[in-house]
Amino acid sequence: MSTSETRKAYVVVLGNEKGGTGKSTAAMHIITNLLRQNYKVASIDVDARQGTLSRYVENRRLRAAKTGEDLALPEHEAIFKSSLPSVEEAEAEEKEKIFSAISRFQSYDYIVIDTPGSDSYLSRLAHSFADTLITPLNDSFIDLDMLVRVSADSLDILKPSTYSEMVWDQKKQRAIRDGGSIDWIVMRNRLSSIHSRNKEEMERVLSALAKRIGFRLISGFGERVIFRELFLSGLTLLDMRESNLPLSLSHVAAKQELANLMELIQLPSQNQRSRIA
Ligand SMILES: Nc1ncnc2c1ncn2[C@@H]1O[C@H](COP(=O)(O)OP(=O)(O)O)[C@@H](O)[C@H]1O
Ligand SMILES: [Mg+2]
């Protein structure tokens, strides 16, 4: 068997149990970054009902068809929740769908999976395939509550929340299935450029929590209008120059944030993985 046939696709999952924290936005930017490095990328939308990533990819496909721009696309699959009435049958169907998508994409370099902002069997299962799990989090104690309960007065960590416990369970599932481990990264998103007490307190609690429940804490994107604007065109920050969109200082800073993010998440490069295989 050749190396490419034995090589396993590296799986990146974007997840947390809260909506609106930047999972789909980060997924699309990570996907285009990898595509631009000429990697073969597959994407799976487990949040098919909301379908943000699926529509982002579709908008990109439509734009490329319309303008003739050379916009690299991932091979995309949306997985919907089963509509079968019995829980067992529904779970079996969802399990089959996700296993077959993952195995269909095994010859790809990376599989990027976007998950819904709510707990479900499908989302939990998707988490268990992660080599890297990225959890975007807004700088707000409402978002933090998804990871951990803190005391209102002292901000002491009281106990991990259900999402953290779920990630622990999926780490175990992953270890049982193939002996693999999950690199869990919490990415602060929509960071404000101004200094605030809230920002400082979040930093302190998250740093303490990182050690306690086992994730790496990184700074992601700043709060920038450009992350909201590109969806309809299917473009990301990385396509702006080729698409002749005007680049402002804020866009340049945002591109730098994406470059930093890719460096910090430390996905293994294809060469490194070929050497391991
Ligand atoms: N860094 C950012 N700056 C500004 N807006 C952002 C940023 N990240 C995400 N958004 C916006 O926040 C909303 C939620 O983002 P989305 O990626 O759909 O989150 P999720 O997938 O977690 O529900 C969207 O309107 C998106 O455009
Ligand atoms: Mg989403």
Alpha-carbon distance values, 114 to 130, 134, 226 (Å)? 11, 10, 20
Average pLDDT for 12-41 = 96
Alpha-carbon distance values, 117 to 18, 32, 123, 134, 176 (Å)? 4, 22, 9, 13, 26
Question: Which ligand ends up closest to the CA of 226?
Answer: 1
Quote the pLDDT of residue 274. 56
Largest CA distance in the chain: 60
| CATH code, domain carrying 199 | 3.40.50.300
Average pLDDT for 105-119 = 96
Residues 48-62 pLDDT 10s = 999 999 999 999 999
What pTM did the predictor assign?
0.94
Residues 220-276 pLDDT 10s = 999 999 999 999 999 999 998 888 888 889 999 999 999 999 999 999 987 666 545
Range of the domain at 257: 3-276
Count CB atoms within 10 A of the CB of residue 220: 25
CA 252 from chain center: how many Å?
A: 22
pLDDT of 28 over the 80 cut = yes
pLDDT of 14 over the 90 cut = yes
Question: Given the CA of residue 47, which atom of ligand 1 is nearest to it?
Answer: 21
Quote the pLDDT of residue 7. 62
Average pLDDT for 116-124 = 95
Q: In total, how many domains does the chain have?
A: 1
Best probe residue, ligand 1, of 228, 235, 257, 261 (max atoms within 8 Å of C-beta) = 228
pLDDT of 10 over the 80 cut = yes
Q: Considering the chain, what is the average pLDDT of its residues?
A: 92
Residue with tokens 């990898």: 34
Ligand 2 centroid distance, CA of 180 (Å)? 26
Reference 28, options 188, 226, 174, 218; nearest CA is 226
Quote the pLDDT of residue 40. 96
